[in-house]
Structure 1
Amino acid sequence: MEGAVDLGGISAGARGTGTVWTEREGRDLNANLVRFPQGEGVGEHVNGEVDVLFVGVSGSGVVGVDGREHALEAGVLVLVPRGARRSTRSTSESFSYLTVHRRRGPVRLRAGRDGPNA
């Protein structure tokens, strides 16, 4: 990735839900822009591989970490440690967030599905 990426612009123009953009050029880090409509998100699961940083991009939602909900909106960060139970849910019409973690396999999210990657 050379230069800057307009995540707000990508999110606003994205079709569908789940992962709408993935940074593919870094060698050590993985970044994914994830988008959901109100009431949707990623069901509770445990990721035992990596710590994950969630960064709010637009709208609002919550990140559940071991049973505790953390509000997430543009400019807010939530760190989810490896091994924690986690989930996300949109509380606004359109909610998008960035996940950043040490590189591993590709992320594939779809609305309404629980999954190990988010």
Structure 2
Amino acid sequence: MAAEDDGSPDTAGPPLPRVLCDTAQLLSPGGDAPAGALWRLAEPARQLDANVVRLPAGGRVDTHTEPDLDVLLLVLDGAARLESADGGHALRAGVLTWLPHGSTRAVLAGPDGVTYLTVHRRRPGMRIQPPEAAARLRRSLGGGDV
């Protein structure tokens, strides 16, 4: 679900705040919400990425490490367990968690599933590089030329 407009201001001037989504409407009663991303921030020229994600009962985000980005995770509905190097942390509606870059973590949904919001700095887009850039990268990693 994306914002209804294209992000272009109607008049010249600074951008204006606007409502993007009512998360309460994304949460269907009885846990009938589909799994996966229910909403994504898609505004042009944004500096952040954000998603509302639903994991069904017993669903999980496998153990992984985010090397570059800090992430905020806010549980909107349901419960989950955050597994990390220092053990497990119970997450329930209203709990805001900081996942620092470099940390290893997994999210395991509770018996009724979990819906949460994640927010992090936007990843820069991929850039086209000249062919010699790949060779320089390989050499810097000890791979030599191919």
> What TM-score does the superposition give when structure 2 sets the normalisation length?
0.64
Secondary structure (helix, strand or coil) at the match of 1:31 reads strand
1: distance between equivalents of 2:77 and 2:33?
A: 15
Is 1:10 the equivalent of 2:8?
no
Aligned length: 106
Secondary structure (helix, strand or coil) at the match of 1:82 reads coil
**Gaps in structure 2 of 5+ consecutive residues:** 4-17, 126-146
Compare the two structures and name the one with the higher strand fraction: 1
- Pick aligned residue for 2:97 from 47, 57, 78: 78
Alpha-carbon displacement from aligned partner over 1:33-90 (angstroms, at most 9, x marks no partner):
1101111110001110100111010011112222521211111111111011111111
Compare the two structures and name the one with the higher helix fraction: 2
2: distance between equivalents of 1:105 and 1:97?
A: 24
> What TM-score does the superposition give when structure 1 sets the normalisation length?
0.78
Q: Indicate the RMSD between aligned Cα atoms, in angstroms.
A: 2.3
Matched ranges for 1:18-29 at <5 A: 18-25=36-43, 27-29=46-48
2: distance between equivalents of 1:101 and 1:22?
A: 12
